[in-house]
Amino acid sequence: CANCKTLEHTVLNTETISQLLASEGVVPMKVDITGNNPVGNAKLNELGRKTIPLLAVFRPDGEVEWKNDFYTVQNVVNAVESARAKPQAAAR
C-alpha cells in the first residue's frame, strides 16, 4: 500500500534504522498480508490490530514493547532502545 511504501522509504530504509535493525540482538521480520496471507492476518489479530502498516517492537521476553501504524525514525529508535533495556525472562 502507499502508506507502507512511504514509511519503508522515509523511516525503515534510512541509514539510522538500517544500522539499528542490523545490530546485535535485533531480529527484524516483515509480514506481508498481500493476497490475504492467513499467517500475516493471524499476527495482526494476535497484536489486536487490523490497520496496516503496523510496526511492533518486542522485548527479549517476547512481550510487545511498542506498536503503532504510524511512526518516525525516533519512535523506532526509542522503542528498540526501550525493549533492549528490559531484562530477558528466565528460560521456560
Segment 60-82, tens digit of pLDDT: 999 999 999 999 999 999 999 99
**Nearest residue to 60 via CA among 39, 31, 81, 30:** 81
pTM of the full predicted structure? Answer: 0.87
**Nearest residue to 56 via CA among 79, 26, 87:** 79
Other Cβ atoms within 10 Å of 13 Cβ, number = 10
Is pLDDT above 80 for 91? no
Buried b / exposed e across 15-37, counting CB within 10 Å, b at 16+?
Answer: eebeebeeeeeeeeeeeebeeee
* 24 or 34, which is more confident: 24
Distance of CA 74 to the CA centre of its chain: 13
Answer left, alpha or beta for residue 35, where phi above 0 means left and psi between -120 and 50 means alpha.
left
Tens of pLDDT along 25-56?
A: 899 988 888 888 898 899 999 999 888 899 99
Is pLDDT above 90 for 12? yes
Phi and psi at residue 34, to the nearest 5°? -60, 140
